[in-house]
Amino acid sequence: MKNYSTEKFETIESYIENPTADFYNDVFDGRYDIVMVVDWREEDEEIINYCENILETGHLFAELEDTDNKQGFSITIQYGEKSLLIPYLGEGSDRDTTLLSLNEILQPDYEIRFCKISYRSDTLQLIPLPKMLWHRLDMRYAAKMDELFGRFEKDSEFFGK
């Protein structure tokens, strides 16, 4: 949490307290230091970079390697001492698998949730936060949190398969 500013946290709280589309757009437009904006055609290794730019852990990155598999490459996420090969199933990569893998490796320190206001769009917006801050928001705004921010499940589909 040492890397997450009070100003960013208060900005998220201001949206929770005034959860309209106009307010969301006003508050988060261009705030790539808070919100990860992921297009359905995004380069998967860039998603990890977006997350690191927000969390500023100093030890989260992606390693892209050419391999002899269905995809022709593999992406490994490194977070501190942990390493996770993203388990793509079909040909090529997919943003859903990348996001789920990224959220998995960040546990228990951090959690990513998606902004439901961007659901069913070709550009998804997500917020990675220290897990302790998500817990604080959940406790303070219990009635609103699940309406505004979606939690990742093992079978979550953001862009569809």
Amino acid at 56: E
Tell me: pLDDT of 1 over 50: no
Tell me: pLDDT of 2 over 60: no
Higher-confidence residue of 47 and 69: namely 47
Q: Report if pTM > 0.95.
A: no
